[in-house]
Amino acid sequence: MFPAIISGVTLAIVDATSRGCVFSWAGAVALLVFLAVTMFGTVPINAGTLEWNSNVPPHNWKALINRWERLNNLRCLLAVLSFVLFLVSAALHLS
């Protein structure tokens, strides 16, 4: 994850004056939002599940799992979106 974010931000900085710079920056922002959702959304839930007792789960376990699934869907969408935005930026460089 971190190499992709570093590469994306570096590309956006280097690509600052080309036709595809808007798409490069949008891809970098999507990756940064992906990181934020991971660090502040799914990671705390994952850490909390390590302490769960499988015989006596917490009273709100279904809500936590549903929240994790929604956040994971958002993370997947952001990852695909950033990839598409970087592809558009690259295509604009080739044209």
pLDDT of res. 94: 84
CA distances from 81 to 28, 43, 56, 75, 84 (A): 10, 21, 39, 10, 5
- pLDDT given at position 48: 93
What residue ranges do the domains of the chain occupy?
2-94
Looking at residue 19, what is its pLDDT? 83
pTM > 0.75: yes or no:
yes
Q: What is the pLDDT of residue 11?
A: 85
pLDDT along the chain (95 residues), means of 10: 88 84 93 96 95 91 96 97 94 85
> What pLDDT is stored for residue 5 in this prediction?
87
